[in-house]
Structure 1
Amino acid sequence: MKAIIGRTIFLTLTFSTIVAVFSYLFFALSIAEYQRLLLDTEAADMPLLVWLFTTIFIISLGIASWISLNSRTRENIIIGKLQDLYAKQEFTSSNKMKKQTNRSIEQLYEVLEAQRNSLRKITDERVETQDKMIQERIVQERQRLARELHDSVSQQLFAASMLLSALAEQAEEGPIRKPLQQVERMVQQAQLEMRALLLHLRPAALHNQTLAKGLEELLSELQEKVTFDITHRLEDIVLSKGAEDHLFRIAQETLSNTLRHAQATEVEILLIERDGLAILRVQDNGVGFKQDDGKGGSYGLQNVKERAIEIGGSCKIVSVPSQGTIVEVKLPILKGELTDDSSSVGR
């Protein structure tokens, strides 16, 4: 409102000055004649000066109102575009604004979009760095726990097992012999649980080795610590780094579950390539389980299935009570797949 009043007064004075100068230059009247013309000439009982000033004021008010309305309309359009720029993060040019205004807002949008992308990138990199640090700390902690358990608890369980075995052999038939044998079996089962835990805690890292070489070292190390026989057939297959890490972890978890639950005497590991598929199979002759009784989860096989899906493979589990369990993972081999691909990261 103040802008309209100010513009009206300014335009009234301007138009009045223009009319006065125009009349003086073109009509060449004296001041007395001007006074007589403006004050003595009347229309509807009002001097001509009043009519002239009123007309100029009304025209000035109309022009000022139009200018203010037009300015407010353009201002509202600009405000709306800026609000869209903030809320919707988008900008479309408007025909109601000047090209220069459109271009200026568009440049502002481009700057803001570039800054947003830069902030997203910085945030993603920070999160990835934090995740990497957390994973490294988890691996270090698992290695530390595995070393401590192996050097202390595992050795103590082994010593207790040997002592109980000697006591059971020396004990005569009587009430003490059976409890000793039961305790011995409990300690042996605890040893199996400990070995399975140590196997599970071992990080799934191949250290720039092939999957076949890593599995061979894992099985050789495991064979020295378990009572069942392990046979294997491992072929060198070119896979991505992520796929190798996942398959290594699948074999590791499956063997851990077999050691803990299966009560097997024989385990067979296959890693072969057939018809464009990498096939990993772990088979045991243990107690097995009924696949429809909901106990398959005790083997931790759901995690194995999820890992297989993450690398684009499939997992098939066949188990028959008292006959054993087969876990088979099939993964399509992509042509031209690079061994240093790390798109899939093991958990």
Structure 2
Amino acid sequence: MIAFIVRTFTMFMLLSTMVFMFFYFLLGEPVEETFEPLWEVRHENVPLVAYFVIAMFVISCFISIWMAIASKTRESVAIRYVKQLVDPEFSLEKKKNIPRSLKKALLQTNELIETQRKSLQKLTNERVDSNDAIIQERIVQERQRLARELHDSVSQQLFAASMLLSALTEQAQGDEKSQKTLQQVEKIVQQAQLEMRALLLHLRPIALRNNTLAEGLTGLVLELKQKVNFDIDYKIEEIELSKAEEDHLFRIAQEALSNTLRHSKATEVELTLIAPDNVAILRIQDNGRGFNVEEDNQTTSYGLKNIAERAVEIGCIYKIVSVPGEGTIVEVKVPLKMRQNTDELSEAADLNASEDS
């Protein structure tokens, strides 16, 4: 509001100066004889000069409003393009009618983001390579963690099932109460089986050592189809990815499927790995009970945090969409063109290092 008032006052002063200069050149020096008609001539008892002042004020207001709208429009356009910069599919070549100054700033910002992504991917690749030396220790730690979780979750549920079975044997055969107890036992045992299968998904620290991502995901899906009681549809393509990208995407798929087994109560799951338009897309979708992403509970927040961290580590764009009662979608996008640029950057750096030595 203050900016509008200042702009209006400035425009009013500018117009007043222009009008004064106009009359100065038209009527000469501002003496009483030449400028007297401005306040002597009246219309409806209002001096002519008052009409000039009112007209200049109205024009100043209109110009200020127009400038404010134009400024707000340019700001909205800039904000929209800045928000799109993080999308790997964003390209300024497809955009038209962008001011030259804004386009230059967007190009510089986009170049900086691409450089940071390349550096981040290179660091991630180097870290994955260095992790090979300690993989055996991680296997031991993972198995210990799995043993503790099996003891704390599945064992407790199986114990509860055995207690209910004991109570069932003491009841008369064909009793309605016994039938309800039996159904409770069945639900508990089924949940225990899902817990066991979900936890075993974590026991794969070297699953992709001799396999591609497509081979690893296919094997994982085929194994689950034999053990779970719901449908798993999949569409998996062979995509050339770096070791770090394959490792992280496989772990993301494991985490998403584990959450589906343990929490979603889904009857259908769809896993997709495709690469349209130079972007590899990994998507896991189920028709389970879903949850509120903004207010997710403690049972899902840890898994979602792992997915987000792994996606960020390889410079990917991830999306988690869930609707209570409808299901959940976990999607990760990997820009393939960036990998080629990263490899070229690494080769150039190695070449420069060898020339310096």
TM-score, length-scaled by structure 1: 0.52
**1:171–1:245 Cα change, 3 Å:** farther
In 1, the alpha carbon distance for the partners of 2:225 and 2:146 equals 18
Q: Matched residues, percent identical?
A: 56
Find 2:314's aligned residue among 305, 311, 325: 311
1:243 matched residue in structure 2: 245
The answer to whether the Cα contact below 8 Å between 2:260 and 2:286 also exists between their aligned partners in 1 is yes
1:259 is aligned, of 261, 284, 292, to: 261
Q: CA deviation at 1:294?
A: 3.3
The answer to whether the 8 Å contact 1:271/1:280 transfers is: yes
In 1, the alpha carbon distance for the partners of 2:320 and 2:200 equals 24
Query: Residues 294 and 244 of structure 1: is their aligned pair in 2 closer, same or farther, counting only changes over 3 Å?
Result: same
User: What whole-Å deviation, never above 9, does each CA across 1:128-186 have from its counterpart, x for those lacking one?
Assistant: 99976554222145358869979xx89x96xx79x96xx89x94132222122212211
- Cα distance in structure 1, aligned partners of 2:130 and 2:198: 30
What SS is found at the alignment partner of 1:292? helix
Tell me which residue corresponds to 1:295.
Answer: 297
- Give 1:175's aligned residue: 177
Other structure's SS at 1:286 match:
coil
Supply the distance in 2 between the matched residues of 1:282 and 1:174 (Cα, whole angstroms): 41
Matched with 1:192 is: 194
Which runs of 5 or more residues in structure 2 are unaligned? 1-127, 347-357
Question: CA separation in 2, counterparts of 1:185 and 1:267?
Answer: 21
Tell me the distance in 1 between the aligned counterparts of 2:242 and 2:173.
58
Is the CA contact 1:143–1:203 (under 8 Å) kept in the aligned structure 2? no
1:214 and 1:332 map into 2 onto residues whose CA distance is 21
Asked if structure 1 preserves the Cα contact closer than 8 Å seen for 2:138 and 2:205, the reply is no
Query: Does 1 or 2 have the higher relative contact order (CA < 8 Å, sep 6+)?
Result: 2
Distance 1:130 1:330, change over 3 A: closer
What is the CA RMSD across the aligned residues, in angstroms? 3.6
* Separation of aligned partners in 1, 2:312 and 2:297: 21
Match of 2:330 in 1: 327
Hey, what does 1:137 align to over in structure 2?
137
Rounded to whole Å, the distance in 1 between the matches of 2:296 and 2:219 is 34
Deviations 1:41-61 (A, max 9, x none): xxxxxxxxxxxxxxxxxxxxx
Calculate the TM-score normalised by the size of structure 2.
0.50
CA distance in 1, matches of 2:235, 2:131: 36
1:131–1:308 distance in 2 versus 1, CA, 3 Å? closer
Equivalent AA in structure 2 for residue 272 of structure 1: I
Within 1, Cα distance between the matches of 2:177 and 2:229?
29
Separation in 1 of the partners of 2:291 and 2:300?
A: 10
SS of 2:177's equivalent? coil
Alpha-carbon displacement from aligned partner over 1:208-238 (angstroms, at most 9, x marks no partner) = 2111111000111111111111010001100
Q: Specify the code of the residue in structure 2 equivalent to 1:193.
A: E
Q: Which residue is 2:271 aligned to? A: 269
Distance in 1, matches of 2:197 and 2:272, equals 22
Q: Which residue of 1 aligns with 2:234?
A: 232
Tell me the equivalent position of 1:205: 207
For residues 296 and 320 of structure 1, do their structure 2 counterparts lie closer, same or farther at Cα, with a shift above 3 Å needed? farther
Which segment drifts farther, 286-295 or 243-252? 286-295
Amino acid at match of 2:279: L
Q: CA separation in 1, counterparts of 2:292 and 2:129?
A: 44
Q: Quick check: which one's helix share is greater?
A: 2
